[in-house]
């Protein structure tokens, strides 16, 4: 069975997804200068309802031995972390 039954279902899903992408593009922005050294930054979105998955994700990054990885940015909903989680994670 196909994912979309009709072209109308496909079109409505596409419009919805495009709208959600547009909304998300307005949530995060930053002004940084151009990188001065080569390398990569990993951005990890963390679900506040299951915060301890973060350590597994970080372990995967460490075990990959990614030489070009220079920085890891963790994004979580503002004010949604369990009390004391940030201190335990640092």
Span of 10-14, 23-27, 29-33, 81-85 with lowest mean pLDDT: 81-85
Cα distances from 5 to residues 14, 17, 18, in angstroms, run 14, 17, 20
| Angstrom distance (rounded) from CA 35 to CA 80 | 31
Which tens digits make up the pLDDT trace of 39-57? 888 998 887 777 778 888 8
Residue whose structure tokens are 């597994």: 56
Model confidence pTM above 0.85: no
Q: Nearest to residue 70, comparing CAs of 78, 59, 61?
A: 61
Q: Are 61 and 72 in contact (CB under 8 A)?
A: yes
Provide the token pair at 86: 């940030």
């Amino acid at each position: 069975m196909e994912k979309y039954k009709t072209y109308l279902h496909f079109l409505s899903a596409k419009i919805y997804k495009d709208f959600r992408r547009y909304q998300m593009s307005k949530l995060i922005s930053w002004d940084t200068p151009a990188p001065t050294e080569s390398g990569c930054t990993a951005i990890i979105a963390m679900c506040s309802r299951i915060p301890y998955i973060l350590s597994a994700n970080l372990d995967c990054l460490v075990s990959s031995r990614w030489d070009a990885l220079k920085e890891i940015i963790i994004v979580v909903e503002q004010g949604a972390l369990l009390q004391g989680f940030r201190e335990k994670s640092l």
